[in-house]
Amino acid sequence: MRGSDQGAIWRALLNRLPLLAWLVVVWGALWQDFSPGNLAFGLLISVGVSSVFYLPPVELGGRLNVLRAVVFALWFLKEVSVASIEVFYWAVVKGPRISNAIVAVPLRSRSDLLMTATGHVLSLIPGSLVVEVDRGTSTLYVHAMNAPTPESVEKVRRGIQDIEARLIRVMGSRADLAALKREAAANVKESP
Amino acid sequence: MSVIDILSAIALLGGALMSLAAAVGLLRFPDLMSRMHAATKPQVLGLFLMLVAVGLQMRQWALLPALLVAWLFQLLTVPVSAHMVGRAGYRSKHRRPELLSTDDLHSVVEAVVDGGAVIDGGGGAAKAAPTSAPTMNPDH
């Protein structure tokens, strides 16, 4: 049993690592000093802070595709820019005549992290915001701007599921990724 | 005036334009939810452009992580505040159903309020709805 115990300890450490790394980066950024001494002291403080103010551990997917993450960041910036201008346009042109919708979006993954990340990303992109979350069925209820017809509602739903697919490719678990690949393959077979 | 000056001027103006977008949205949009969109979202891009301009003018590598952290904190907090206000708005008198073309959440909340049925045990909507039942339907 010693091996599995050690494995559990390693996994716990690995799960804490992103939080510690983030805290150390924030420490360095705030001091504007990334010298080894300052970072070491920052690490001490982050270990202390994260043990005193204990947060429930986040279940990570166990993989991170850096290339996909960079692509995702660029796509996110583009999407935010386009949507910001869109909302500005709606504010000027449509104003009080805007027609919105609250759309139930079922997600593929049951992971809390992916649900949170998807909700965050879609909330940051102007024009949509999460009103309610059903964790049991991993459904997001999203308030979307300018969705007057059923077609546009369907478009909103597909857009959000696309965000989730992108996030799964960046950091989803292997099982989620495999399910996504199967789904994509099925779609390719259906379309012609 | 160098290229960098011009670029940062563009970024500053773009950032200011996003603030203008928020103001116009607040004035023009009809209900709380749409105003939430206008008030919070353009600042994601607006602050990014402002920070880009600051970075272009200062041109110090040590400053870059601080700017990035400032933006990331904005990214982390904006959706949370938008969600909390939006959720509270939906559950109080600020909901305007006539402005919605579709409302998938309404039937879920209705089912919970009417039948007392618990949908899928422990979903956010199922848990929170009964407590807010008295304020759910001010418009009917």
Rounded to 10 degrees, the C-alpha dihedral B24/B26/B27/B33 comes to: 130
Q: Where are the beta strands (DSSP E) in chain B?
A: 100-103
Q: Find the residue in A nearest to B19 (Cα).
A: A88
- Residue-wise pLDDT for A110-137, tens only, equals 888 889 899 999 888 888 888 888 888 8
Q: Where are the beta strands (DSSP E) in B16-109?
A: 100-103
Whether pLDDT at A190 is above 90: no
Q: Do B79 and A129 count as a contact with CB atoms less than 8 A apart?
A: yes
What's the rounded Cα separation, in Å, for the pair B112 and B130? 7
- Residue-wise pLDDT for B113-128, tens only, equals 666 544 444 444 444 4
Query: Residues with Cβ < 8 Å from A173, sequence gap 6 or more?
Result: A61, A62, A63, A109, A111
CA dihedral sign of residues A113, A119, A123, A124 = positive
Q: Where are the domains of chain A?
A: 2-52, 66-190
- Bigger pLDDT: B121 vs A85: A85
Whether pLDDT at B83 is above 90: no
Q: Do B83 and A25 count as a contact with CB atoms less than 8 A apart?
A: no
Q: Find the residue in A nearest to B49 (Cα).
A: A81
Q: Do B79 and A124 count as a contact with CB atoms less than 8 A apart?
A: yes
In chain B, residues with a C-beta closer than 8 Å to the C-beta of A81 are 45
Q: Do B28 and A81 count as a contact with CB atoms less than 8 A apart?
A: no
Query: Residues with Cβ < 8 Å from A69, sequence gap 6 or more?
Result: A170, A171
Q: How confident is the model at residue B13 (pLDDT cuts 50, 70, 90)?
A: very high
3-state SS track over A47-78 = HHHHHHCCCCCCCCCCCCCHHHHHHHHHHHHH
Helix axes B32-40, B63-90, angle to 10 degrees: 180
Amino acid at B29: F
Strands A128-134 and A100-106: unpaired
DSSP B139: T
| 3 state SS of A105 | strand
pLDDT at A46: 92
Q: Where are the domains of chain B?
A: 1-90, 96-140
Question: Is B127 touching A (CB cutoff 8 A)?
Answer: no
DSSP A56: P
Q: Do A77 and B48 count as a contact with CB atoms less than 8 A apart?
A: yes
Most confident segment among A144-148, A180-184, B46-50? B46-50
ipTM: 0.80
Q: Residue A102: count other Cβ atoms within 10 Å of its Cβ.
A: 24
Q: Find the residue in B nearest to A25 (Cα).
A: B65
Q: Which of B104, B108, B118, B119 to mutate to test the interface with A (most CBs of A within 10 A)?
A: B104
DSSP A152: H
Q: Which residues of B18-55 are buried (b: 16+ CB within 10 A; e: fewer)?
A: beebbebbeebbbbbbbbbbbbbbbbbbbbbbbbbbbb
Q: Do A132 and B124 count as a contact with CB atoms less than 8 A apart?
A: yes
